[in-house]
Amino acid sequence: MSIVRMNVADFAAVQAPSVEAARPLYDRYVVPSYARSLSVTRGSGSWLWAEDGRRYLDLGGGVAVNCLGHAHPRIGQALQQQAALLVHASNLYHHAPQGELARKIVNLTGPGKVFFCNSGAEANETLIKLARRAGHDRGRFEVITALNSFHGRTFAGISATGQQKVKDSFEPLLPGFVHVPYNDLAAVEAAITPRTAAVLIEGIQGEGGIHPATPDYLLGLRALADKHRILLLWDGVQCGCFRTGRFHSYQTLLADVPGAAAFLPDGIAMAKSLGGGFPIGAAWIAEPYQDVFQPGTHGSTFGGTPLACAVALAVLDEIESKGLDRNVVAMGGRLADGLRALMPEKPLITGVRGMAGMVGLIVREDAPGACVRLREAGLLTVPAGGNALRFLLPYTVTADEIDEALRLVRGAL
Ligand SMILES: *Cc1c(COP(=O)(O)O)cnc(C)c1O
């Protein structure tokens, strides 16, 4: 067998012949823990191709991951260049990409340090372990989270998540979690006890159906956390990494709110769009807690590899240097306005929520059913709780593509 060397462009041009259809392989060999639909073969920008050759407008964005769309050349280039130098070396050593990405995240956030991992669930695990360790000597271990939240599928993740359906049949869960209604400051205050170590919330509930936190709630949580000397933890896995136009969604939610300029959580979980499709997770930890994890107290074999960090640096640079943060705000606004304009003629649509790259279309029927109808029309979205269909836009999406999506919604619903 001869070894053929190809560059990234050659790979993209190759239409890998489908030796076998994917679906039967899944039916036979893959654990059926997901409800899957299409068999896909390749993507480009906002478009995804299925095995049967049909092209779909992908505004589900790989569930808030593909912030540069599919097959972005900048990601291919970063992968190729870094892979030729060093893919993995372990966290026994220093390397420039991890140090530079940590500095970048701190500069975009505030004084503190960063721990690297590989997923959103692991980033939340890191924050929960941080709260346990920081509160340990004062007997504080409980974490208050919101009903309808989603924090990942690990044991701490499902224990933290405020939805019964992710916990069913996995009991006993990790102890020490209390759930209260979202955007209800009085409920958080009432739940704080001498055992409370932290409050953990999403800036915009994603899986729960696109519910943004209100400014009063955020400022009130910060004041409560300060008063009781507990941590305010932020799950920015879905709403972060410029999805709302600013790096973190609180920067968007609190823009122009008097007295909010200094708002900072004590810990922030990131993943999804951070690597634009390459797996990476990160937990930013505020200065007062930045040295809580000493050698041997927390770790991850793959956390912050040179390859993952080089890709994330390229993704962030592409977003900032090309103004994609501004583009996603404009395109999300165009989409939300267009969807709202459809409401008078489409009684099936009962609401539009969210902002920028995170828009929820609320429908009268069950969301998975509406999602199937849009897919059959050629538009990919992601169902969520509360009869919501999520548009998790690639930040590279164009006005023509938004208008095409609106035409498809109009025809299908
Ligand atoms: C997706 C998600 C997670 C879990 O991330 P994984 O990478 O799947 O572990 C956690 N929190 C929120 C808000 C998410 O949207």
Residue 66 Cα, ligand 1 centroid: separation in angstroms?
14
Question: Which element (helix H / strand E) includes 378?
Answer: none
Half-sphere exposure of 302 (CA within 13 A, CB side): 10
Give me 62's structure tokens: 């790989």
pLDDT at 367: 84
Q: How far is CA 77 from the centre of its chain?
A: 23
- What residues of the chain score a pLDDT lower than 70? 1-19
User: What's the whole-model pTM score?
Assistant: 0.95
pLDDT at 366: 84
Question: Which element (helix H / strand E) includes 37?
Answer: none
Question: Which element (helix H / strand E) includes 173?
Answer: none
- Closest Cα to atom 6, ligand 1: which residue? 120
Residue 186: partners with Cβ closer than 8 Å, 6 or more residues away: none
Tell which phi-psi region holds residue 256, choosing left (phi > 0), alpha (psi between -120 and 50) or beta: left
pLDDT at 16: 54
Q: Counting atoms of ligand 1 from 1, which one is nearest the CA of 149?
A: 13
Distance CA 217, CA 311 (A): 35
Q: Counting atoms of ligand 1 from 1, which one is nearest the CA of 119?
A: 7
Indicate if ligand 1 lies below 6 Å from the C-beta of 235: yes
Return the best residue to mutate from 65, 125, 149, 151 for the ligand 1 pocket (most ligand atoms within 8 A of CB). Answer: 151
Q: How far apart are the first and last CA of the chain?
A: 52
pLDDT at 135: 98
Indicate if ligand 1 lies below 6 Å from the C-beta of 152: yes
pLDDT at 365: 84
Class of residue 44 by CB neighbours under 10 A (exposed 0-12, middle 13-18, buried 19+)? middle
pLDDT at 7: 54
pLDDT at 10: 53
Q: Tens of pLDDT along 236-264?
A: 999 999 999 999 999 999 999 999 999 99
Residue 203: partners with Cβ closer than 8 Å, 6 or more residues away: 212, 213, 234, 235, 236, 239, 240, 244, 248, 249, 250, 253
Distance CA 302, CA 311 (A): 14
Question: Which element (helix H / strand E) includes 41?
Answer: strand 40-44
**Nearest Cα to Cα of residue 23 among 50, 62, 61:** 50
Rounded to the nearest 10°, the torsion over CA 332, 333, 338, 343 is 100
